[in-house]
Amino acid sequence: MIEIWIDELTECLVERRTGLKRETEFGQVVITEEIQRRLKKQGWLFEWDKAIGITEALRIKGDSEIQGLISYSIKEGYVEVNLVESNPKNIGKNGCYVGVGGHLFAIACYRSALSNGDGVVAMTVKTSVINHYREKLGAISYGRKERMMIDGEASQTLMEKYLKRWYTTDVQEGEYAREFI
């Protein structure tokens, strides 16, 4: 179940201490056992080397440190978010960067749009964040109360906020993957 806190929706990542806006980049990443050990040592909670589907890393442009990870599967007409986590350094009111959670969901919306899913993203969330996701992400519940989706205007808003430079050209051109090595 998904439970990442969405602190703010920002145009990029914002350094909490200084207010400095930091441009980001993202792409597919393979989490090896070595990388997983490093993540665990840094305090990451999930076993990303066992994540289902495609895993993408969010980074500050030009910096190799991972600021957030998202794992998703491309389904018929939507993207299913399997796992999402922010770098432990970004968690809480004293975290380093603001905007990681929203950015990760924007990536899922973007991948959905590129995969003919019209930006629709579905996920199963913990009940503690249902109202929070409604408010911050514009997500709606369907079926069981823990099932939520981001679609339509909410998806468009996230993509335009975080990914405008990619979204406006890539979706039209059908480009899919950027990959980190």
**Which CATH number goes with the domain that contains 106?**
3.40.630.30
Is residue 160 in a domain?
yes
pLDDT band at 11 (very low <50, low <70, confident <90, very high): confident
Total domains in the fold of the chain: 1
How far is residue 152 from each of residues 19, 46, 158, measured CA to CA in Å? 31, 30, 10
7 phi and psi, to 5 degrees?
A: -70, -55
Is residue 162 in a domain?
yes
Return the structure tokens found at 173. 């051109």
Is residue 38 in a domain?
yes
- For residues 29 and 170, what is the distance between their CA atoms, to the nearest angstrom? 19
pTM to 2 decimals? 0.90
Is residue 144 in a domain?
yes
Range of the domain at 35: 15-172
141-169 burial by CB neighbour count: b if 16+ within 10 A, else e? eeeeeeebbbbeebbbbbbebbbeebbee
Is residue 70 in a domain?
yes
| pLDDT per residue as tens digits for the range 84-101 | 999 999 999 899 999 999
